[in-house]
Amino acid sequence: MENDVIEIRDEKELPREKVLALYQACRWSAADKPDELLRALAGSHSVISAWKGEELLGLANAISDGALVVYYPHLLVSPSHQQSGIGRRIMQKMNERYGSLHQQVLLAVDDAYGFYQRLGFRDTAGVRPMWVYHGSDM
Ligand SMILES: CC(C)(COP(=O)(O)OP(=O)(O)OC[C@H]1O[C@@H](n2cnc3c(N)ncnc32)[C@H](O)[C@@H]1OP(=O)(O)O)[C@@H](O)C(=O)NCCC(=O)NCCS
């Protein structure tokens, strides 16, 4: 089983080139702001990553007040390893830490909506997500 060799790490300082390669592989525009991206991860409340040996296969970060609310800005799995349980394992680790909080919040792209539904996330009935976005991939 692939997951037998996948290691989940809980550390905020990650190798720059491996992070950028992952974001580029997923075509996420945050890769165009490498300094900010690395600072964002280092400044997060948590960063959970998935590794096969020294290959970075996926990561997620969390921003939290540590008491009531957590927001999950990023979750991405390398296209070559999607659909093999890595995203679920990363979010399970987040859930161990934040699952008891009053609110866990995220913005799901349409393609990831079903994935988050499987993990228990629901539509914000009566509440509209809103943002000001300066990325280039939406
Ligand atoms: C969305 C993403 C994080 C899912 O990670 P993953 O490792 O491929 O997903 P997993 O293999 O852990 O899937 C867990 C379950 O969700 C299902 N699933 C995975 N992706 C799905 C999708 N896009 N839609 C519906 N279900 C999905 C799997 O079939 C699996 O189902 P199971 O409960 O029957 O086993 C990954 O596809 C990805 O990085 N996509 C590109 C970046 C992205 O869209 N990130 C989210 C931004 S909001």
Q: Closest ligand 1 atom to the C-alpha of 89?
A: 12
C-alpha count within 13 angstroms, C-beta hemisphere, residue 2: 12
Q: Decide whether any atom of ligand 1 lies within 6 Å of the 53 Cβ.
A: no
105-108-113-119 Cα dihedral, nearest 10 degrees: -30
Residue nearest to atom 20 of ligand 1 (CA): 115
Global pTM reads 0.95
Task: Report the C-alpha gap between 42 and 12 in whole angstroms.
Answer: 5
Cβ(111) – ligand 1 distance below 6 Å: yes
Cβ–Cβ under 8 Å, residues 59 and 22: yes
pLDDT digits (tens, 9 = 90+) for 88-103: 999 999 999 999 999 9
In this structure, the number of other CB atoms found within 10 A of the CB of residue 77 comes to 24
Q: What is the pLDDT of residue 4?
A: 64
For residue 3, pLDDT over 80 is answered with: no
**Cβ(87) to ligand 1 under 6 A?**
yes
Radius of gyration of the chain measured on its C-alpha atoms: 15
pLDDT tens string 45-91: 999 999 999 999 999 999 999 999 999 999 999 999 999 999 999 99
For residue 91, give the nearest of 114, 111, 68, 120 by alpha carbon: 120
Looking from the CA of residue 86, the nearest atom of ligand 1 is 7
Share of the chain above pLDDT 90, in %: 94
Q: Ligand 1 atom closest to Cα of 83?
A: 11
Ligand 1 pocket, residue 95 CB under 6 Å = no
